Amino acid sequence: MGSATIKQSFATLEQANTAVQALTEAGIAKDALRIWAREDEAGPVSGNFAVGNGATTDSGFNDPARPGYGTTYQGNFDRPVARGTVLLLAAGLDEGQERIARDVLSGMDGTDLSAS
């Protein structure tokens, strides 16, 4: 068993699961892979609040190209931003497995945190 570790963050659990499937199809053992959500749906993802973000003024949400978006309340729900809330860890990889895993993950919509 090797000692290389790869850390990759994804915006959604679906993206992380897709990465796990691609890694296992490429020959990486499933028991070398771990995923977990660092935040849950109750966490404040920017612009995606269940009851608004508390803005009491227009705050630049007025966009003439978007009818109805001139009000503060509607603007509170505008432009949601997905953050890297799901972490994938590939651990104990030998040199060949690490190379394969990095090649697979380079084509995914994640952020490599291994150098961090």
Residue ranges making up the domain that contains 102: 1-45+83-116
What does the pLDDT read at residue 11? 86
Number of domains in the chain: 2
pTM listed for this prediction: 0.63
The predicted-structure confidence for 47-66, as pLDDT tens digits, reads as follows 545 555 555 555 445 555 65
Give the number of C-alpha atoms closer than 13 A to the C-alpha of residue 30, restricted to the C-beta side: 4
Question: What residue has token string 């660092």?
Answer: 38
**Can you say whether residue 90 is alpha, beta or left, with left for phi > 0 and alpha for psi between -120 and 50 degrees?**
beta
Instruction: Verify that 51 and 41 share a domain, yes or no.
Output: no
Statement to judge: residues 41 and 2 lie in one domain? yes
Same structural domain, 26 and 1: yes
Residue reference for tokens 């104990």: 92
